[in-house]
Structure 1
């Protein structure tokens, strides 16, 4: 699939501080892409370069097949920053209408789309409320609507679920899926790794201004797996020993094992089959993105040498 966004060797400096150092990656059209990293990693600087707020000191950005032009291309981008940019004293309906027109919609088009989104997200009764009267979650829903109503090709969401209860978080999540299915590309930036695992197709992890991981969620979990498996055996409280594996944990007839070097999962299964044991379940245990994130961020200096990105 074609890339809608390509970052080529981006660098950005603040005085003597290096915020982004030689970062490159591509984002495919229609994908949900996770940009991850701890505080101070360089994520916000990257997002601000992608939106034209900052210019890179070195490198360049390709957007929709050509060199990124912030003046003309910004209308094709929707950006919801973590720091909200709403007018507190302004009525919600008037504010949505004003911002939609700033993004190129006529008043009639803006009204049509605002009414559609307000109805879809159960916000119709909010029209005459002021932003200062909204809860954090309500303000978050309004910011999301303002970000997407002009139907941008690229949507950037920085911590979009902050302040949302589980019902509204699921509502926004479903809308994100729907936007991607309709061809929008989503950049999703968050600290919540469980949301990334559930939502994103592809992720990039940055730390200290450098890219330290780049790949699909599935490939990354496979890359960092440790040959651990959960096994449930019928009527067995303690399996017999085997050179093929070590038992790491045991609960009644459920076990966690680690396959030793030189052996495979087939060797483990064959061991129990030969013992005449009934195997109720046998599942590989893959590391969570949260575990991988902590491992890489806490050991960045050594890990960046030990692990090469999955893609360039």
Structure 2
């Protein structure tokens, strides 16, 4: 049976009177891409630092490849911290090779690996450029490449997309897929749900230091009430027409094409079933759209709109990081 790269059991971490993480249990199976999701300040960065032994838990147990974090198990990990930091006088090539050597590669292996990574990500012509002369985006690429230069078995990426433009965000998504195809297990934290929707096998959601969901994407979407939007010509009572067919319809915001309704879907019933029932009821339909499930909707359904508003707050995670320092 494959050993989980990371297991947390009832982990709690406090900073003075503030509880950053409370009772967190988490298992990261080998070979998966796991999204560690939640608004800024939810406790994600603290949880990752505890996982690596950077800070100890106040309660609970941490196992990295089956044992407490140690120098041998940490060599199998590539960690990208949220706080970016590079040696500005080093060149891009020297930086990547340096971090590779820290993880056990020889000097020759480290330089060859640095060259390979830079060429494959469009940084080849900047290999001898000092970090201080690189753009912010290129410097962040160098830091990401430094994280995976030693081909780690387990990648932990804390807000890896932060600060990247859309083009480089897409490039990083491809890099994550490539690392996963190579065989790496990947755990990345983010407050941007769309990245997790595109990349993850499984997601873990955090809010106020506590885990509120742990499961696959289909399991997450299954927590939502499903429905569909239907527009009919003005004056048609869709609720009365659909009630005999077992559907509940409520008026929604009028979009200017007639009367707008939202139809609730019972379990096991799809949007097309609702549309068919409306047609059979003689509804003069002018528009139809099934609900599009998004992870943000799942988060809102679990913790409420007020908590979800912190997904767009860039200051809360900085506060969490300051507490952990």
Which TM-score band (shorter chain)? Answer: 0.7 to 0.9
SS in 1 for 2:252: strand
Once the 2 structures are TM-superposed, how far is the Cα of residue 142 of structure 1 from its aligned partner? 0.6
Corresponding position: 1:51 with 2:56: no
Q: CA 1:168/1:39 → structure 2, altered by over 3 Å: closer, same or farther?
A: closer
| 9-18 or 119-128: bigger deviation | 9-18
RMSD: 3.0
**Shift, 1:77, TM fit:** 0.6
For residues 245-268 of structure 1, the C-alpha deviation after alignment (integer angstroms, 9 at most, x for no partner) is: 314356548965222779954763
* Distance verdict in 2 for CA 1:191–1:254, change over 3 Å: farther
Kindly state the Cα deviation for residue 151 of structure 1 after the two structures are TM-superposed: 0.7
Aligned to 2:6: 5
Distance 1:91 1:279, change over 3 A: same
Q: Secondary structure at the match of 1:82?
A: coil
Over 3 Å counting, the alpha-carbon distance change for 1:256 and 1:220 in structure 2 is farther
Q: Is 1:257 aligned to residue 258 of structure 2?
A: no
Structure 1 segment 72-151 matched on structure 2, within 5 A: 72-151=72-151
> How far off is 1:31 after superposition?
1.2
Q: TM-score, normalised by structure 2?
A: 0.80
Deviations 1:246-296 (A, max 9, x none): 143565489652227799547634523424679999764144222333454
Residue 203 (1) aligns with residue 203 (2):
yes
Are the counterparts in 1 of residues 230 and 261 from structure 2 also a CA contact under 8 Å? yes
Residue 289 of structure 1: aligned partner: 295
- The equivalent residue for 2:228 is 229
Question: Measured at CA, do residues 31 and 253 of structure 1 come closer, stay the same or move farther in structure 2, by a change above 3 Å?
Answer: farther
Rounded Cα–Cα distance in structure 2 between residues aligned with 1:262 and 1:108:
60
Change in 2 beyond 3 A, CA 1:48/1:273: same
Any idea what the Cα deviations from partners look like across 1:60-92, whole Å, max 9, x if unmatched? 12333x223322211011011111121112222
Aligned pair in 2 of structure 1 residues 41, 116: CA closer, same or farther (>3 Å)?
same
| 1:145-166 Cα deviation digits (max 9, x unpaired) | 0001101111111121222222
Aligned equivalents of 1:129, 1:98: Cα separation in 2: 15
8 A contact 2:93–2:111 mirrored in 1: no
In 2: Cα distance, 1:300 partner to 1:175 partner: 34
Residue 245 of structure 1: aligned partner:
248
Instruction: State the alpha-carbon separation in 1 of the partners of residues 158 and 119 from structure 2.
Output: 24
Tell me what 2:25 maps to: 24
SS at match of 2:75: helix
- Say if 1:200 and 1:279 are closer, same or farther in 2 by CA, change over 3 A: farther
Q: Could you list the runs of 5+ residues in structure 1 that have no partner in the other structure?
A: 302-312
Deviations 1:199-254 (A, max 9, x none): 2221112222211221112211111x22311458xxx7466522123143565489
Report the 3-state secondary structure (helix = DSSP H, G, I; strand = E; otherwise coil) of the residue aligned with 1:162. Answer: coil
For the residues of structure 2 that align with 1:254 and 1:181, how far apart are their CA atoms?
A: 49
